[in-house]
Chains A and B, each alone.
Chain A
């Protein structure tokens, strides 16, 4: 391990924070805040790329670990590290940051300093969540991630920002109170906030079973709201339609799903298995419900929100199938969803900036005026609906096949139906936006196609979607090493192609 590897994670956390301070200090002139934010996010992305290039495949456990005491009493450690599960999520977060800056470049006109400072603080919080291995540290970043988002929704909301921001904040903040109690209870029982220690103590120790179930449930509840899982999705549509494009793009889904993998199933395997059937059912409902609602939305942000509900539910299905293939598919799908959704947000943001509306029925026939936008939009759409050879296909296929073989055929069929509906609403959206007769809106302004800045982001993303669809093993080799349901990792590690079911029973 060289010197950089020893402190790379600290650098990744601190770089956006330093950028945020810098943005707050410079004068708001000549797009200076934009440039600093862009530069910071590019540097951070570069730092994040250090991780996969120096990641040692085949080495179990966490890498790039840093473990230093932070607070003496109670013993809270600054303990960070990544494994196969989180390494690509860190990179994805780093990748989305410059895209977010580009998406906000001309959309954010006022109070740019506040916007970019908070945007970068949000980056820090996201990185923190993905790399924290101490529960209190994790909780700190988890809560911190709420604040910039809520403020920015209130500041730049399209119609009623404060209301949407309040909804977003309270929906996530209130379930995190039981989460904190559960963490404190674990500490009272074990004297440790450390993830690895707790994992061993919970699986093999003698913690009282009843309260442990409640603790696991408290964890799950906090994460399920954040994802969101079906009946808890009330905040999602308002947040998507009010939040600045960049913010919605970077936070969507990832935090909650990762937390489920790491801190719910990873920490409480037995309790998670007990609840898995319910979550699988809720996930399937979410897939279908989200897809159906997406079909009837008139506003493309809301459509995207319900599409996200559908896709995130699919990933939840993959997680709570508790099979190795499903987990690989789930993590892969988080990555793919991040990239594809990022591109989609950027494109729709471009449309909204140019035409000042998000009403789908006002659009139409844009393809002749904005050919490059249309091309990229179609590619992104195809990746999203899971066309083979594009990124969306791999994850969907892994999740569905795993569900089919190891969970339930019925659910797999239902989930596949959701995928078909997904193709329907996305293609219909493309048709309504870009094809058909030219609408009044399209003719009312000169066609202002994608600028170089946007193309410079979107084409690499499109290529990335293609590569992710063609050569998934580039990513899956690392993911497969970290992302395994607990205990399966030690017992059935090589058999992931066949999608082994977790042996039930165990230590109950």
Chain B
């Protein structure tokens, strides 16, 4: 019945895995003195191939593989392309900014690629156990990457914090999966949806939903599960933050969309108010805390919490409009956030010579290109039209208004006014004339290499395309939303689930 070979459904993941393995093996077999930098190019090449493979998957009919555990559909392709794009930019960024003599450079690239495998699989999985495995793959890679700067002390602190809290969150998710299995006798998402719709007693499902939401909302750093974010972002190297503030979040939002809209649409009256509250909390807490930050990375950490809130506002949208808005916002957020972290990485270097907002004073005078780009991405984060940030917010709040949550939209727009204050503080500091008397001030003049230039170009292009000609992306997001709304009927029986009776 299914003419598509199973392997085609996970082709991007396969390519990424092979790339990761190749990078590790080459790294191990190179003599110690040799430069590891070309490995980064290998990883970037593999990621590009995976991106093309995802796009190629669009030509396959929508369907599942491997006993209905993974799916390929416009929805998965949308997020695959997004994740691969972010990973590509982060790799290019690391290529020029990691110190030449950096220890374990090969591992660094391999870990990024393995993380990408997990994230891609997370968006493709339609079986909760595969979801869990995918989440672990991506999380473990990011835990290690967060602590990559062992020499600073901040790095290990960030990694340990992230690891401990993250493991707890994953445990919550796993417990939720167990309860789902208890309630419905299956962990296949379509099957769960079918059985949950006809279930009479929801109490076990509700507990499962709550536990799963805790795990997921932790990963997307939504309030009140956000406390790890500023510390981890501050300690992790900037190229890694560029990655981990966007790609795992994008993948986890895809999971959240699956869990809410595809798996438990019948519980919409329950999860909708929960997400409403989380959205408002995230925006408000994130923005208020960001106002007080002097450290740029902490400020952007809180800003990413606020953006998770804006994105969650889209969940108030009905049906495919909400899904499409959330998907679009994920893309817009990823483009501009990767961009701003790229600028910050280049401007302050691997050793982070410019940790504070005031250190960025006069950036546009020192380096007009970086200064202008910094301001450009901040303007997009503020949500000025003709940038991706505007349409992201626009669709998210339109979806909320369309779903009847006018107050959510108003709170969101007031919040973006609040947010403008701190984004602008950084932008205006960068635009200000450098201090004349301070000779001791940082006179670090950043260099823009080929790889970083390509990374910045990609981010700028994505932000502008999403802001000026968003039609194509929007159409892709809507196509994805439709597949999520009308999931393909699982072909044949899934692995174990159908053989088991529902829990007594």
Interface residues of chain A, those whose CB is within 8 Å of chain B, are: 71-74, 110-111, 113-114, 139-141, 143-144, 146-147, 150-152, 154-157, 161-162, 165-166, 169-170, 173-174, 177-178, 180-181, 184-185, 188
CB neighbours of A165 from chain B (8 A): 424, 428, 431
Q: Is the CB of B421 within 8 A of A170?
A: yes
Chain B neighbourhood of A156, CB < 8 A: 433
B residues near A (Cβ < 8 Å) are: 364-365, 368, 371-372, 375, 379, 382, 384-386, 390, 397-398, 401-402, 409-410, 413-414, 416-417, 420-421, 424-425, 427-429, 431-433, 470-471, 474-475, 478
A114 touches B424 (CB 8 A): no
B367 CB, min distance to chain A CBs, angstroms:
11
Cβ–Cβ contact B428 & A188, under 8 A: no
Given A147-B384, A155-B432, also A166-B424 (CB < 8 A): yes
By Cβ-Cβ distance, the 4 closest A-B pairs, closest first, are A140-B385, A162-B428, A154-B431, A154-B428
| Residues A139 and B417 in contact, CB atoms below 8 Å apart | no
Q: Are A169 and B424 in contact (CB under 8 A)?
A: yes
Chain B residues with CB under 8 Å of A162's CB are 425, 428-429, 431-432
Question: Most chain-A CB neighbours within 10 Å: which of B390, B397, B428?
Answer: B428
The interface residues of chain B lying within 8 Å CB-to-CB of A184 are 397-398, 401, 409
Given contacts A152-B431, A169-B420, 7 further A-B contacts (CB under 8 A): A71-B470, A73-B478, A113-B368, A114-B371, A146-B384, A170-B420, A170-B421
In Å, the complex CA distance between A173 and B379 comes to 12
Beyond A155-B433, A170-B420, whether A188 also contacts B386 by CB under 8 A is: no
**From residue A112, how far is it (CB to closest CB) to chain B in Å?**
10
Chain B contacts of A113 at CB under 8 A? Answer: 368
- Cβ-defined contact, B384 with A144, below 8 A: yes
Asked whether, in the complex, the Cβ of A173 is within 8 Å of the Cβ of B368, the reply is no
Task: Choose from A141, A151, A161, A178 the contact partner of B427 (Cβ within 8 Å).
Answer: A151
B425 contact set on A, CB distance < 8 A: 162, 166
Q: Shortest beta-carbon distance, A411 to chain B, in Å?
A: 34
B417 near A173 with CB under 8 A, answer: yes
Q: Within 8 Å CB of A180, what residues of B?
A: 413
Closest chain A residue to B391 by CB distance?
A71
| A161 engages B428 (CB within 8 Å) | yes
Residues of B within 8 A of A111 (CB): 364-365, 368
- Closest Cβ of chain B to A166, distance in Å, is 6
Chain A contacts of B409 at CB under 8 A?
181, 184
| Residues in chain A near residue B429, CB distance under 8 A | 162
Shortest CB distance A23–B (Å): 11
Across the interface, do B420 and A173 meet the contact criterion of CB distance under 8 Å?
yes
Min distance, Cβ A370 to any Cβ of chain B, angstroms: 29
Q: In the complex, what residues of B have CB within 8 A of residue A74's CB?
A: 398
B428 adjacent to A143 (CB under 8 Å) = no
B385 CB contact (under 8 Å) in A144, A169, A188:
A144
B417 touches A71 (CB 8 A): no
Q: Known interface pairs A161-B428, A161-B432. Does A177 touch B470 (Cβ–Cβ under 8 Å)?
A: no
Q: Which residues of A contact B398 (CB under 8 A)?
A: 74, 184
Q: How far is the CA of A166 from the CA of B428 in the complex (A)?
A: 8
Complex Cα spacing A150 to B384, Å: 13
Is there contact, CB below 8 Å, between B385 and A174? no
Residues of A within 8 A of B470 (CB): 71
Contact at A166–B368, with CB atoms within 8 Å? no
Q: How far is the CB of B77 from the nearest CB of chain A, in Å?
A: 20
Tell me, rounded to whole Å, the shortest Cβ–Cβ distance linking A117 to chain B: 8
Q: Of the candidates A144, A152, A161, A170, which one forms a contact with B386 in the assembled complex, judged by CB atoms under 8 Å apart?
A: A144
Closest beta carbon of chain B to A7's beta carbon, Å: 18
* Residues of B contacting A110 in the complex (Cβ-Cβ under 8 angstroms): 365, 433
CA distance A177 to B385 in the complex (A): 12
| Known A161-B428, A162-B432; contact A188-B375, beta-carbon cutoff 8 A | no
Which residues of B have CB within 8 Å of A169? 420, 424
- Taking a contact as CB atoms under 8 Å apart, the answer to whether A188 and B417 are in contact is no
Residues of B close to A140: CB separation below 8 A: 385-386, 390
Min distance, Cβ B211 to any Cβ of chain A, angstroms: 36
With both chains docked as a complex, state the minimum distance between the C-beta of A107 and any C-beta of chain B, in angstroms.
Answer: 14
Whether A151 touches B471, Cβ cut-off 8 Å, given contacts A166-B425, A170-B420, is no
B372–A114 CB distance below 8 A: yes
Chain A residue at minimum C-beta to C-beta distance from B375? A151
Interface core residue of B385, B397, B427, B478 (most chain A CB under 10 Å): B385
Most chain B CB neighbours (cut-off 10 Å) among A143, A178, A185? A143
Complex Cα distance, B47 from A415, in Å, reads 69
Bound complex: CA of A147 vs CA of B431, how far in Å? 12
Determine the chain B residues whose CB is within 8 A of the CB of A155 once the complex forms. 364, 431-433
Whether B401 and A174, one on each chain, are in contact in the complex, defined by CB atoms closer than 8 angstroms, is: no
Report yes or no: B384 in contact with A143, Cβ–Cβ below 8 A: yes
Give CA–CA (A98, B370) in the complex, Å. 29
Could you tell me the distance in whole angstroms from the C-beta of A421 to the nearest C-beta in chain B?
36
Q: How far is the CA of A16 from the CA of B470 in the complex (A)?
A: 23
Residues of chain A lying within 8 A (CB to CB) of residue B431 = 151-152, 154-155, 161-162, 165
When the two chains form their complex, are residues B417 and A174 in contact, meaning their CB atoms are under 8 A apart?
A: yes
Q: Smallest distance from the beta carbon of B383 to chain A beta carbons, Å? A: 8
Are A73 and B474 in touch, CB under 8 angstroms? yes
- CB nearest to A165 among chain B residues: B428
Q: Across the interface, name the chain B residue whose C-beta is closest to A137.
A: B385
Q: By the criterion CB–CB under 8 Å, are B385 and A139 in contact?
A: yes
CA distance A389 to B443 in the complex (A): 58
User: Nearest A residue to B433 by beta-carbon distance?
Assistant: A155
Rounded to whole angstroms, the CA-CA distance of A490 and B416 in the bound complex is: 42
Q: In the complex, what residues of B have CB within 8 A of residue A144's CB?
A: 384-386
Tell me the bound Cα distance from A188 to B398 in angstroms.
9
B424 touches A150 (CB 8 A): yes
For B414, the chain A residues whose CB sits under 8 A away are 177
A28, closest chain B residue (CB) = B368
Q: Which of A150, A170, A181 lies in contact with B413, CB distance below 8 A?
A: A181
Asked whether, in the complex, the Cβ of B428 is within 8 Å of the Cβ of A170, the reply is no
Contacts of A173 in B (CB 8 A): 382, 417, 420
Interchain CB contact under 8 A, A181 and B410: yes
Closest residue on chain A to residue B361 by CB atoms:
A162
For the complex, give the distance between the alpha carbons of A71 and B401 in Å.
19
A188–B474 alpha-carbon span in the complex (Å)? 19
Contact call B432/A154, Cβ cutoff below 8 A? yes
CA distance A169 to B384 in the complex (A): 12
Instruction: Give Cα distance in the complex from A238 to B421, angstroms.
Output: 17
Residues from chain A with a CB closer than 8 A to the CB of B474 are: 71-73
Are A143 and B420 closer than 8 Å at their CB atoms? Answer: no
**Contacts A140-B386, A188-B402 given; does A150 touch B417 at CB 8 Å:** no
Bound together, the chains give a CA A19 to CA B315 distance in angstroms of 42
Residues of chain A contacted by B372 (CB below 8 angstroms): 114
Within the complex, what minimum Cβ distance (angstroms) separates A441 from chain B?
A: 23
Minimum distance in angstroms from B73 CB to a CB of chain A: 20
Closest B residue, CB atoms, query A74: B398
Name 22 A/B residue pairs within 8 A (Cβ), A-sorted: A71-B474, A73-B474, A73-B478, A111-B365, A114-B371, A114-B372, A143-B384, A143-B390, A144-B385, A151-B427, A151-B431, A154-B432, A155-B431, A161-B432, A162-B432, A166-B428, A170-B417, A170-B421, A174-B417, A177-B413, A184-B401, A188-B401
